[in-house]
Amino acid sequence: MSELVPARWPISVELPVQWGEMDSFAHVNNVTYLRWFESARIAYFEAAGVLARMESERIGPILARSTIDYKIPLTYPDRVLAQATVTRLGNTSFTMALRLISGSRGGAVAAEGENVIVLLDYRTQQKVALWDGLRARIAELQQG
């Protein structure tokens, strides 16, 4: 297992806050934050080549754990920046940190989260070790 110190957020996805994402309490519903994190996570997977292997060999990621700390409520209209980075590499898993930045709130962090991703052979339902090429690509992304 190796710890990575994220010097930067290599993946950023800008997303609009939609009117329909607000709930009866007049702020964005908590589930939407998780969807925004998912958008950043999938963009990271694409950049790291994880999804290409999933298509070709049915070896790919599965979300094992997700946590979120809500910092400030968001409302329409706004634009959020969903960001992702990798903080730890294990044998068959890696940990991602995620955050949401509010455009209308002066760049305030609206939420922070963590995801544990396990690599899985979807044909056998067995865990798969992180391959060397993936480790190298994550290192490249983290270094910029």
Phi, psi of 50 (to 5 degrees): -65, -40
Q: Which of 40, 43, 27 is nearest to 82 (CA)?
A: 40
Phi-psi region of 109 (alpha: psi -120 to 50; beta: other; left: phi over 0): beta
Contact status, residue 113 vs residue 98, Cβ threshold 8 Å: yes
Q: What is the pLDDT of residue 63?
A: 98
Q: What is the pLDDT of residue 110?
A: 97
How far apart are alpha carbons 55 and 45 in whole angstroms? 12
Alpha helices in the chain (DSSP H): 30-48, 50-57, 132-143
Q: What is the pLDDT of residue 14?
A: 95
Q: What is the pLDDT of residue 139?
A: 95
Q: What is the pLDDT of residue 4?
A: 47
Q: Which of 100, 79, 95, 96 is nearest to 30 (CA)?
A: 100
Q: What is the pLDDT of residue 3?
A: 54
> What's the distance, Cα to Cα, between the start and end of the chain in Å?
22
Q: What is the pLDDT of residue 94?
A: 98
Q: What is the pLDDT of residue 92?
A: 98
Walking along the chain (144 residues) 10 residues at a time, the average pLDDT comes out as 63 96 95 97 97 95 98 97 97 98 95 98 98 96 90
